[in-house]
Structure 1
Amino acid sequence: MGLFEELKRRNVIRVGIAYAVTAWLLLQIADLVLDNIGSPLWVMQAFMLLLGLGFPLSLLFAWAFEITPEGIKREAEVDRDASITHVTGRKLDFGIIALLVVVAGYFFWESRFTREHPPAEAPVAAAADAARAPSAADTTGSTPAPVTASGTPSIAVLPFVNLSSDPEQEFFSDGISEELLNVLAQFSDLRVAARTSSFQFKGDNRNISDIASQLNVNHVLEGSVRKAGNRLRITAQLIEAEHGYHLWSETYDRELNDVFAIQDEISLAISEALRAELELENQGDSGPKVAATANTAAYEAYLHGRYLINQRGNKAITQAVQELERSVRLDPEYAPARAQLAIAYTLLHNSPSSYGDLTTAQVIAKATPHIDRAFALTETLAEAWGAKCQLASTQEDFQRSVEYCQRALELNPAYIDAMNWINNSALLSGQYQLAYSYIKRIQEVDPLSVIGRLNYAGMFLGHTDPERAHRIADDLLEVSTWAGHSTHANVSASEGNIAESLRWSLLAFRDNPLDTYSHGGLAGGLSIVGLVSEARRISDYARTFAAATPEEFAEARGYAETAVNTDPDNTSNLLTLAYNTYYAGDLDAALPLYRQIHEIAAPDLPTSQGYSLHPGLRYAWLLRRTGDESGARQLLTAIEKDLDSREGTPLTLFPSYIKDRIVLTWLNGDEEGALTQMAAATPSQLAPRNELLDPLLAPSQQDPRFVAQLERYDAWASEQREEVLTLICENNPIPDSWLPLPETCQGFNTAAR
C-alpha cells in the first residue's frame, strides 16, 4: 500500500482538514473576544503560535494512534482485520461537513448582516464613552436628507475605536481617522462628511444606516486601532449605508512605522471600491497620500497636538503647543506639525475671538518661521494655508486671510476651520454676503460642527428665529457646555433679556474662566445695567471697556492705554482706547486715535469695530467738527455703501446695524428720519445708554421725541437691572465660582425690604 493510501486509511488527511477548519473558527472567535476585552496583541499572537504548533502534532497523533472500542491504542498494536478506521473516517467526514456549514454560514452572515447591528467593538467604545451625539434633526430643526445609494458618492469617516490597553491613546485612533478623512477629501468627485459631525458619533452604537442618514452620506468607513508598543493593528471596513452591505474590509498587522503606508492603502482601497460601484474617477497610484514622517514619535506628538487644538480653550491649546513643539524637535522636516504649531500660536493671540495672551508681535514671531518652513517643504498642504490664513487675520489683513483659506479649501474641501475663518475675516473686511454664504455652508457640510452652530445660532439665527436658536444651544450642551451656554447667552441678548443672557454667561464663565469670549458677554451685560464695578472684576480685559459714565470711561481709558502699550500692533486695543477717550469727553484726543485707526484699515473700508461702523461715524463727525467736510462726506459715503451691502443677510437685524443707520441718517441731515428710526427700535437695540448720549447727537437730545426715547430706554434698563440683581444676589447660578460684591447686594436687599 502506497504512502497516500496509508495516510487515507489512518485518517491523517481527514484529521488535518478537521484541525485546519476548527483552528480557523477558533481564531475568529478569539479575535472577537480578545478585541472586546482589550487584550494586548501578543495574546493573539501566542494563540496563533499554539494552534500552528498543534497542527503537525495532530497529524503525528493520527498517524501513530488509532481510536478503538477499547480506547486509544498505538496503530502497530491494532490488528488490521479489527481496525475501525473506516468508521472513524465516516464520523470525521460528517464532522468536517458540519464545520464547513458553520464556516459558510459565518461568511454569509458577515457579508450580509453584520451591519444590521453595531460592530463588536461598538459596545466597548460605548462603555468607555457614554456621551451620545444629538440628532441632526434636533440640531438643525429640519429633517435630515435620506440616504440613497445613488447620486454623488459620499462618505463619513467615523472615529476609529481605540482598543489599546491605554485609554490615553485615544488621540492616536482619532488621529488615524482624521488623517483618512483628510486624504479622502482630496478626491475631487467624493463628498466627505466633515470631521466634527462624524466625530460626534464617537461611541454611538446606533445602526450605521441611521448615522449615515444623520450625516447625509451613502457610505461609512469605520474601524478600530490597537497599539501595543511598536506593534499596530488597524481594522477598517467600508459599508454601503442603505442596506448595510460590506464593500471592503481589511485588517493590518504592522510595525508602527508602517502607519502611513497603511493609511494610503486604506484610502486607495476605498477609492477603488467606490470607483467600481459609483464610477469614481480612477486615481491609480497617484491618488492623495498621507503626509509622512520617518519618526513615529513625531507623528504621535503631531496627532496629540492636533487633537488638543480641536478641543479649543486656553488649556488645551497650550498643551497642544507643547506636543507640536516636541513633534518639530523630533522631525524638523514634518510640514503638518509645523503648520499646526503655527495655527496653535495664532489661537493663543490676545483677542476676543482667541484663547490666549500673546501679543500680535509675539504671534508673528512664533508662527512665521513654522509657516515658512512648511511651505518650503510643500505648497499643497491645506493646514499650511490655514495657518497662513490665521496669521493674516491676526495681522488684520483680512482680504489675504480670505484668499489663503479659500486655497486651503481647494486642497481640502472638508476643512471646516478654514470655512469658519473665512466667515470671520469676510465679516471684518466688509464681504458680508461671502461671510454669510460660508456660515450657511458650514451648516450644510458639517451640521454638527460646534463652532459652526455657535456662530450660526448665536450671531445670525438668534435675530431671525430665536426659538430654533435656543434648540440648537440645547443640542450644543450635549457636546460642549461652554458652547451651549455661550450660544444661549447670545440668543437671550438678541431677545433683549439681559438677566437671562447674564445667567447663561455666568454658566459659560464657570465652564471656562479664562475665556475672553465669555468675559465680553458677561462684562457687557453687567455694564448695560450699570453694575460697572462687578463688570470690571471679571478680568483685566473687561477693565478696558466696562464703563457707563464719563468718569468710568476715563478710568477705563487708563486700562486701555496699558493694553495698547503692551500690544501696540493690536488694533482692537486701539479701538477700545479711542472709544473710551471719546466717551470720557476728550474729543480732541480721540480724533488722532481714530485717524490712526483709519489709516491702518484698508483705504476703501470705513473704520469699524467688529460689525459696528460707529468708529467710522464718530471719526466722520470729528472731521466735520474740525471743518473737514470733504473728508467727512467721503467717509459717510463709504459707510452707507457698507451698510447697503449687508441687505439680504441677518446682519440688518443686528443692534449695531440699527444704531449705525440712525446715526448715519442724523449725520446726513435727516433728524426727523433718525428720530423715526429710533422710535422703531427696541430699547435693547439702542443699548448701551452712553451711545444714546453721544456728543454727535447733542443737538437732538433736547427734542421731546428724543427725551421720550431716552425715558423708554431708562425704564427698560431699570427693569433689567432689578432682574439682574435678583439673579446674582438671590439666584446666583455659580456661587462656587463667582459671587457679587457685598455692597451690590446690600443695596438691593435694603431696597427690597
Structure 2
Amino acid sequence: MQLAEITFPAFGLSDQAILVLIVALAIGLVPALTLAWVFEITPEGIKRERDLDRAGDLARRTNNFLDRLIIVLLALGVTYLAFDKFLLDPVRDEARIEAAREKGRAEASGRVYGEKSIVVLPFINLSGDPEQEYFSDGMSEQLLELLSRIPELRVISRASAFSFKGKNVGMQEIADQLSVSHVLDGSVRLAGDQVRITAQLIDAQADANIWSQKYDRPIDDIFAIQDEIAAIVVQELKVKLLQQTPTVQHTKPEAFALYLQARQLSRSGTEEAYQRSSELYQESLSIDPNYAAAWNGLAVNYFKQFSRGIRYFDDGYGRAREAARKALDADPAYSPAFATLGLIAMDDANDLVEAARHFERALELAPHDLEIIRHVVVLLQGLGRLDEAIALGQYAIGRDPVNAPNYANLGNSYRWSRRPEEAISAYRAALRLSPDLGAAQSFIGIALLAQGRHPEALESMEREPFEPYRLIGLTMVYHSLGEAAKSDAVLAQLIEKYGHEWAYNIAYVHAWRGDTEGVFQWLDNAVAFADPGLSLIVAEPQFAPVHDDPRWAAFMERLGKSPRQLAAVVFETGLKDQAATGRLSGTD
C-alpha cells in the first residue's frame, strides 16, 4: 500500500485508485489463504499439501529455499520502508506543508471578504480572428483593474485569473483554488466599428448564473459598457461602498485598441516586442496625447529594457521618468505612474527616500493593487525591512494564490532573512505554478548551499534554465565542492558573457569565493554600469564576509544605504494593523 501511495500520483491516479486496490486486495485475501493452505510450491512445481513427503530430503530443501526467500523479501521490505521514511517522507511532507500554507493564506483572505470576492476570467474571443485576442483579453483586464479599485471587494489578479485561460476547469474548482465566491466571464466579438460583449456573473460555490447581459453597441461605447458591468457587479454582490463606483479612463477607441495591442506585446519581454510595443504606445498617444495609461506603458517599456540589459539608451531611465511624469500630467491620480517613478528612483538613483515617497502615494491611491504591492515588497527588501516584506508578501499570496512571481518574491525575503527551508518551499511553490520560472532553481541552490547541502545545490543549479543565474550558481557551488578549476572556468565564462549586465551578482560570487578584492572591484563596476541589483544590497547576506572591511561602510555611505541613511527613510505600508485580518489599513 505504501508503494501505491507513492507511485499512483506519479501516473496521475487519484485516491480513488488506491481505494479500488484496497478493495481488490481484501477480496483476494480469502482465496489466497485457501490456496496457500491446500497447495505447496516445490522445486518440482506446485503440489497438493496431502501429496508431500514432509520427512524427505526434497521437503527440507524446499523449506530452506522458502526460508531464504522470506528473509530476502523481509530485508527488501525493511530497506524500502527506511528509504520511504527518511528520504521520501520529508519531500512529501514539505510539499504538503507548503500546499497547506498556500491554502491557509487564501482561505484567511477569503474569510475576511466572505461573499465579496471575485475573479475576472479571460473573455473569449469570438471575432474569428486570433489576432483580435488582444481585445478580448484587454477587456477582461480593464474590468479586473476597474473592480480592483473597490477596496471592499477582493479581486484576484491578472496572473492568477489568466492561469485558467484555455483550460477546461469547472467553476467549483476555480473557486476552491482561488478562494473566491464569484466569477465574472464572457465573450467579445469585434466586427468593424461594432462590438458585441456578453458578460455573466456566476455564484461559484453554487455554480449558478446570477446575472448575464449581452451588449451590442458601437465601439465608441466600450468604456460605458465596462462602467455598467462594474456597477452591476457591485450591486449584485451587495458591496457597501464608501465612495462612488470607479469608472475607466475614457479615450478614443482607436487609441484604446492600440494601447491594448502594445500592452499585450510588451509581455513577451523580447527586444523586438518592446520596440514594437513602444511604437504602438506612441501611435496611441498621437491620437490622444492625454492618455495616462499609454504614457505609463511607454515608461514601463523603457524601464524594463534598460534595467534588464535588453537595450541601452543614452538616457534610458531618464526616458522612463519623463514618460511617467507625462502620465501624471494627464492624470495626477494615476497610481501606476507613481509606482513606476518609485521603481526608477530605486534602480537609477538608489534614492530610497524618493522611492518611498512615490510608493506611499501609489498605495494611498490604490491600496489593493497587487502589482504595486509586489513592487513595495521589493522596496522593503531594499530597505532591509525583511519581516515587513515577508508579511506583505504573504498578504499578496493570500489575495493572489496562483501567482508564481509572488512566491518567488517571498522566497527571496525568506532567503535573505536566513530562513532557507521556508525559502526553498516558497521557490518550489513558484516552480509548481511556473516550471520554467527563471532564477528559482538557482536561488534554491543558494539556499541549499547555506545549509551545506552541496550535492543537492549542484543538482538545482544545473536545472536552472536562465543562463546568467545558472553560471552564477555553478561558480558558487563548484567552489563549495572544492573544485576550484571548474569554479574558475565558469566564472570566466560568466564575466565574458555577462560582465556588464551582471556586475553586482559577480561581486557577491567573489564574496562567496572569499575574494575580497574582487568584491570591491565588481561593486565599483556595478556602480559604473548602473546595475539595478545594487538596490537590494542591504538585504543580500552573501556580502557578510566583507562587512568588517572598512571599505564596506564607505561604499554603503556612497550608495546612500548606510544604517544612518536607511533610518532616515520614512515609509509606512499600513500593513501592521491589518496583518491579522489580511487587509491593508485605510481601506475598510
TM class, shorter-length: 0.5 to 0.7
Corresponding position: 1:405 with 2:359: yes
Q: Residue in 2 aligned with 1:439?
A: 393
Q: CA offset at residue 268 of structure 1?
A: 1.6
Corresponding position: 1:366 with 2:328: no
Aligned AA for 1:230?
A: D
Alpha-carbon distance change, 486 to 266 in structure 1, aligned in 2, over 3 angstroms: farther
Aligned AA for 2:125?
A: N
Q: CA offset at residue 519 of structure 1?
A: 5.2
Q: Residue in 2 aligned with 1:521?
A: 473
Corresponding position: 1:307 with 2:269: no
Aligned-partner Cα distance in 2 for 1:494–1:594: 24
CA contact (8 A) 1:560 1:573 kept: no
Counterpart of 1:595 (choices 531, 554, 574) is 554
Map 1:269-668; keep pairs closer than 5 Å: 269-275=232-238, 280-281=240-241, 286-294=244-252, 296-310=253-267, 317=274, 320-350=277-307, 354=308, 356=310, 358=312, 362-394=315-347, 395-457=349-411, 459-460=413-414, 463-465=420-422, 468-469=425-426, 471-478=428-435, 480-482=436-438, 485-486=441-442, 488-509=444-465, 512-513=466-467, 520-526=472-478, 528=480, 529-530=483-484, 531-538=487-494, 539-541=497-499, 544-545=506-507, 547=510, 564-565=527-528, 567=529, 572=534, 591=551, 595=554, 597-602=556-561, 604-605=563-564
Aligned AA for 2:392?
A: Y
Aligned-partner Cα distance in 1 for 2:490–2:400: 39
Q: Residue in 2 aligned with 1:174?
A: 137
CA contact (8 A) 2:445 2:456 kept: yes
Listed one character per residue, the Cα deviations across residues 615-645 of structure 1 (whole Å, up to 9, x for unaligned) are xxxxxxxxxxxxxxxxxxxxxxx9xxxxxxx
Q: Residue in 1 aligned with 2:107?
A: 145
Q: Residue in 1 aligned with 2:211?
A: 248
Secondary structure of the structure 2 residue equivalent to 1:234? strand
Q: CA offset at residue 527 of structure 1?
A: 5.0
Corresponding position: 1:208 with 2:208: no
CA contact (8 A) 1:157 1:181 kept: yes
CA contact (8 A) 1:340 1:383 kept: no
Aligned AA for 1:383?
A: P
Alpha-carbon distance change, 555 to 383 in structure 1, aligned in 2, over 3 angstroms: closer
Alpha-carbon distance change, 517 to 181 in structure 1, aligned in 2, over 3 angstroms: farther
Q: CA offset at residue 600 of structure 1?
A: 3.4
CA contact (8 A) 2:423 2:444 kept: no
Aligned-partner Cα distance in 2 for 1:368–1:490: 34
By relative contact order (CA 8 Å, sep 6+), the higher-ranking structure is 2
Aligned-partner Cα distance in 1 for 2:304–2:281: 14
Q: Residue in 2 aligned with 1:633?
A: none
Aligned-partner Cα distance in 1 for 2:281–2:129: 21
Q: CA offset at residue 150 of structure 1?
A: 8.7
Q: CA offset at residue 181 of structure 1?
A: 0.9
Listed one character per residue, the Cα deviations across residues 369-407 of structure 1 (whole Å, up to 9, x for unaligned) are 112211111122221122122112122222442443343
Aligned AA for 1:436?
A: I
Listed one character per residue, the Cα deviations across residues 582-621 of structure 1 (whole Å, up to 9, x for unaligned) are 999xx8xx84x852541431564479xxxxxxxxxxxxxx
Alpha-carbon distance change, 464 to 522 in structure 1, aligned in 2, over 3 angstroms: same
Alpha-carbon distance change, 244 to 384 in structure 1, aligned in 2, over 3 angstroms: same
Secondary structure of the structure 2 residue equivalent to 1:482? coil
Aligned-partner Cα distance in 2 for 1:573–1:404: 16
Q: CA offset at residue 177 of structure 1?
A: 0.8
Q: CA offset at residue 238 of structure 1?
A: 0.7
Aligned AA for 1:411?
A: L
Secondary structure of the structure 1 residue equivalent to 2:402? coil
CA contact (8 A) 1:306 1:340 kept: yes
Alpha-carbon distance change, 470 to 548 in structure 1, aligned in 2, over 3 angstroms: closer
Listed one character per residue, the Cα deviations across residues 26-58 of structure 1 (whole Å, up to 9, x for unaligned) are xxxxxxxxxxxxxxxxxxxxxxxxxxxxxxxxx
Aligned-partner Cα distance in 2 for 1:322–1:506: 38
Aligned-partner Cα distance in 2 for 1:604–1:560: 19
CA contact (8 A) 2:408 2:427 kept: no
Listed one character per residue, the Cα deviations across residues 556-593 of structure 1 (whole Å, up to 9, x for unaligned) are 8777666544x3697839989xxxxx999xx8xx84x8
Secondary structure of the structure 2 residue equivalent to 1:332? coil
Q: Give unmatched runs, 5+ long, in structure 2.
A: 1-94, 539-543, 568-588
Listed one character per residue, the Cα deviations across residues 340-381 of structure 1 (whole Å, up to 9, x for unaligned) are 22123222344xxx464548x823311121122111111222
Secondary structure of the structure 1 residue equivalent to 2:198? strand
Identity of aligned residues (%): 27
Q: How many residues align?
A: 452
Counterpart of 2:120 (choices 151, 157, 178) is 157
Q: Give unmatched runs, 5+ long, in structure 1.
A: 1-133, 577-581, 608-637, 639-753
Aligned-partner Cα distance in 1 for 2:143–2:355: 27
Alpha-carbon distance change, 458 to 302 in structure 1, aligned in 2, over 3 angstroms: same
Aligned-partner Cα distance in 1 for 2:437–2:356: 30
Aligned AA for 2:119?
A: A
Aligned-partner Cα distance in 1 for 2:98–2:518: 49
Structural RMSD (CA)? 4.2
Q: Residue in 2 aligned with 1:82?
A: none
Secondary structure of the structure 1 residue equivalent to 2:438? helix
Aligned AA for 2:407?
A: R
Q: CA offset at residue 255 of structure 1?
A: 2.9
Listed one character per residue, the Cα deviations across residues 397-418 of structure 1 (whole Å, up to 9, x for unaligned) are 2244244334323433442221
Aligned-partner Cα distance in 1 for 2:533–2:118: 43
Listed one character per residue, the Cα deviations across residues 192-238 of structure 1 (whole Å, up to 9, x for unaligned) are 12221222121232221221222111111011122234332211101
Q: Residue in 1 aligned with 2:223?
A: 260
Aligned-partner Cα distance in 1 for 2:470–2:274: 17
Aligned-partner Cα distance in 2 for 1:552–1:494: 18
Aligned AA for 1:601?
A: G
Aligned-partner Cα distance in 1 for 2:96–2:123: 20
Q: CA offset at residue 247 of structure 1?
A: 2.1
Alpha-carbon distance change, 342 to 149 in structure 1, aligned in 2, over 3 angstroms: closer
Aligned AA for 1:455?
A: N
Q: CA offset at residue 317 of structure 1?
A: 4.8
Query: Quick check: which has more Rg, 1 or 2?
Result: 1
CA contact (8 A) 1:231 1:254 kept: yes
Secondary structure of the structure 1 residue equivalent to 2:150? coil
Alpha-carbon distance change, 551 to 473 in structure 1, aligned in 2, over 3 angstroms: closer
